[in-house]
Amino acid sequence: MNREERLRRQKDFLTGFAFWVVWLVILWVVLKAAGSVLFPFLAAFAVAVLLSGAVQFIAERMHIQRGIVAVAVVLFFYIILAVFLYFAGSYLVRLIYDTARELSVFFSDTIVPVMQRFYQWLDRFVSVFYPTELTGKTSGLHGVGEESAQTLKNAGKLMSGISDGVIDGVSGMAAGIPGFFMKLLIAVIATVFMELEFPEIKAFLKRQIPAEYQRAFRDGKNYVTGTMGKCILSYCLIFGMTFAELTAGLFLLGIKNAFAIAFIIAVLDILPVLGTGTVLIPWAVLAFASGRISTGVGVFGLYLVITVVRNLIEPKLVGKQMGLSPVIMLPCMLIGLKFFGIIGLFVVPLLVSFLKQLNDRGIIKMFR
């Protein structure tokens, strides 16, 4: 490729990139201003895109009119979704409600004894170095024992308030169910109409893209969707591994509700700002402080195993799917997390991978 051709392709790429940046900014402003109103229609369009391939495949294979297949597939999808949301939501609400009810019991049976022992030890420690017999008066440090009772009382009130707040939050969620179902009904109707006219909608959107950018857009769309699919698959595998490790470990430790607890912690593990340490480290500390040494050792050991396995697997697995070396993948993830939060954890490696593909294809020349 000569220099003039390379410069032309770089100019076309930068022009196309600026074009899509402007459209994304406009889309972001619109969503920011009217996101709640447009959400059912955006969700309906996303579902229509997701189901379009299945509708086309069934219509061609079974020689059935596309409109009939579209209505049947959309209704089947939403029925399955509604059943899943019903059972998952019922289980989650019941779990949250029961957990909130048990917080006060956990506090009184576990936290209070630990804090009482700590205050007693601190009071004895202060008495050794600041005996009242030597000073002839009570040192301010000797108020620890008296202040501890007030501290525990305040903590109990705080815990009770948290429990009541969680229960009120669950009740508030229940009150919002009618509005949710209204939006869901709108989304179902919109999805049916969009799926019925999906070929026309697709052709209309395609006509809005300038002819000189259609090939670049198609290549970019195929790359981004393929890479995002691989990235999602990678994190699903990581989630599955973490969930399996947690479930097995908690069952071996004899923890009640191990399955539900493992699922919640595995979800937190996907979010690096939180991670498994948010739950497992305080859990281990409380177990040690309350005298349950075996549980503390087991929980802390489980945390170490999950952390080591994730740090070894994540850069290799995600980097392989995105075409990046773990040496490049790990810094990209850390930089994205540092400057852009959780979104940057995914977007920065995706952007670097995209630029690498453009460089390999000769569209841009960033490195040899």
Q: Report domain extents, the chain.
A: 226-362
Q: 147-193 pLDDT, tens per residue?
A: 555 565 565 565 566 556 655 665 666 666 677 778 888 888 999 89
The alpha helices in the chain, defined as continuous H runs, are 3-62, 66-106, 112-129, 132-135, 144-175, 177-196, 198-207, 211-252, 258-270, 277-289, 293-322, 326-360
Q: With a cut of 60, say whether residue 267 has pLDDT above it.
A: yes
Share of the chain above pLDDT 90, in %: 4
Q: With a cut of 60, say whether residue 344 has pLDDT above it.
A: yes
Q: 95-121 pLDDT, tens per residue?
A: 777 766 666 666 666 666 767 677 677
Distance of alpha carbon 260 from alpha carbon 267, whole angstroms: 11
Distance of alpha carbon 166 from alpha carbon 158, whole angstroms: 12
